[in-house]
Amino acid sequence: MEEQQRLEEARIAEEAALSLAHKEKAKSKAAIEHAEAAQRIAELEAQKRRNAEIKALKEVEEKTKVLSSLGQTDFRYRKYTIEEIEVATEYFAQSRKIGEGGYGPVYKCYLDHTPAAVKVLRPDATQGRSQFQQEVEILSCIRHPNMVLLLGACPEYGCLVYEYMSNGSLEDCLFQRGKTRPLSWQHRFRIAAEIGTGLLFLHQTKPEPLVHRDLKPANILLDRNYVSKISDVGLARLVPPTVADTVTQYRMTSTAGTFCYIDPEYQQTGMLGIKSDIYSLGIIFLQILTGKAPMGLTHHVERAIEKGTFSEMLDQSVPDWPVEEALSLAEIALRCSELRRKDRPDLGKVVLPLLNRLREFADDNMFDSGPYSGNPSPSQSQVSMSKEDLSYPPSAQSSIGS
């Protein structure tokens, strides 16, 4: 019995030892598997980092290659050397500077016997290089009477050369900056129709619609005859054409545009569509009518219409507003600036027909006193440019004389 008891105790001890060994083995196996899993995760993360670095390097190389090829082989626009631009702008003299934007400074000059505006990419402009490439690609491919004409570029130094718009921006005219005087209602109606026409042209580009994304009075330029032209398409984006216009959307990783003009739905969701520009268009129309800042403008105009005091909202620098026609433009502008994209009207089918009727009405009531309200005689700036506008830099004069 004692021997049997010892054997039983030995068996129990052996089983306990085996059980403990199995447990230790399982723990060891789990630890090895955990270590292997951690190593695999680390390897995957390292691979992701390597892939991201390779992708970034490839993007940089592709951008450099595209810019280089644009500068060397793209014959859709005139290629200027940096020396030509430096001479024309008197080495970017402050006296030649006519503007400053997020992209960089703008200089007035004279190139190829033509007044021109040179926009220069600032070295610290974070998105400037991609905007430069985008603007060259778009403007070198399109021509429209209501789009600013790209004369040429200097890709190596990030310079864009445009036709010179001697009457500045619509914003300058609306807020009467500098020596500008108030535009007549006839010219305001015509400018509204021209902006709508130019924007529809962008939206109807093939094979994909083009959304401007930064439409505002500062980006509407006026030539010497006060014909309006849309500029600054560096932020424009192509959107897929596969969906109907009313619901065409394209998700962007980050929104772009200017506060008060940017589509609220696009700002909240990142979903871009051609009706994102319609919101901006509505705000511009309200400013054309009122001459007021964009902040809260839709609310103020709506309240004035409800109270029957709309005529008081109209720009008082224009003495002879046709209130009924102005009200029709204000109503379509308010529809354009609806918060929900689906509530905004179609540009080609609804908005532009009204704008064209207002333009015809303005043409029928046009007078011979120039673009300004209250001018007793024709404005010379409509038919000719001043000597200052056509002035040559000293070095350019000598080259022309020779």
Catalytic residues: 214
Alpha-carbon span 117 to 95, nearest angstrom: 13
- Other beta carbons within 10 Å of 39: 10
Residue 368 structure tokens: 């011979």
Provide the residue count of the chain: 402
Q: Which residues contact 228 (CB under 8 A, 6 or more apart)?
A: 146, 170, 191, 194, 195, 198, 220, 221, 222
Q: Which residues contact 8 (CB under 8 A, 6 or more apart)?
A: none
Q: Are 294 and 283 in contact (CB under 8 A)?
A: yes
φ, ψ (nearest 5 deg) of residue 102: -65, -25
Residue 333 structure tokens: 């502008």
Q: Are strands 159-163 and 210-211 parallel, antiparallel or unpaired?
A: unpaired
- Other beta carbons within 10 Å of 320: 11
Which residues are registered as beta bridge partners of 163? 116
Q: In whole angstroms, how far apart are CA 115 and each of 100, 104, 282?
A: 18, 20, 32
Alpha-carbon span 141 to 135, nearest angstrom: 10
3-state secondary structure of 148: coil
Contacts 24+ apart (CB under 8 A), 362-365: 362/185, 362/186, 362/187, 362/189, 362/190, 363/186, 363/190, 365/186, 365/322
Q: Which residues contact 143 (CB under 8 A, 6 or more apart)?
A: 149
Q: Which residues contact 112 (CB under 8 A, 6 or more apart)?
A: 78, 151
Q: Give the residue among 110, 105, 68 at the shortest CA–CA distance from 85.
A: 110
Alpha helix (H) ranges present in 140-214? Answer: 170-174, 185-203
Is the alpha carbon torsion for 58, 61, 63, 66 positive or negative? negative
3-state secondary structure of 240: coil
